[in-house]
Amino acid sequence: MNTNHNRIKVSDLETNQPNKILTTNSTGELEFSELDEIKIDSYNALDYTQEGKSLDARQGKVLKNLVDNKVDKVSGERLITATEINKLSELSNITTTVKTIVSTVLATQN
């Protein structure tokens, strides 16, 4: 490939070079590299915090589902489902009943 002051000539870009990609080398010059030599470093888990890794499609799907299931603050949708609200209500009723029983038992012992 011909370069002139870090510029690639149009004739270089017009050549048919299958499985090649235009990259920048360590000195900042543009060059064609083998596509198979490009290594993509990915990690398929949501708990990874090291930078420089690509997002796997499966991670993207999980993250999209998590976002879709969260509250839409504009429309005011609930963070928890109606079933979960009913369960919490039942727990609240049970707690009130237990408090009443404990109070009654303590009152009769005095």
Look at 39 and 26; give whichever has higher pLDDT. Answer: 26
- Rounded average pLDDT over 15-26: 78
Summarised one tens digit per residue, pLDDT across range 59-91 is 888 888 887 777 555 555 666 777 887 888 888
The reported pLDDT for the residue numbered 56 is: 75
Q: How does DSSP assign 30-47, residue by residue?
A: EEEEEGGGPPP-B---TT
- Rounded average pLDDT over 39-61: 72
What count of other Cβ atoms lies within 10 Å of the Cβ of residue 6?
10
CA atoms within 13 A on the CB side of 5: 0
The reported pLDDT for the residue numbered 1 is: 52
Q: Is residue 50 scored above 80 in pLDDT?
A: no
- Domain coordinates in residue numbering, the chain: 1-39, 80-109
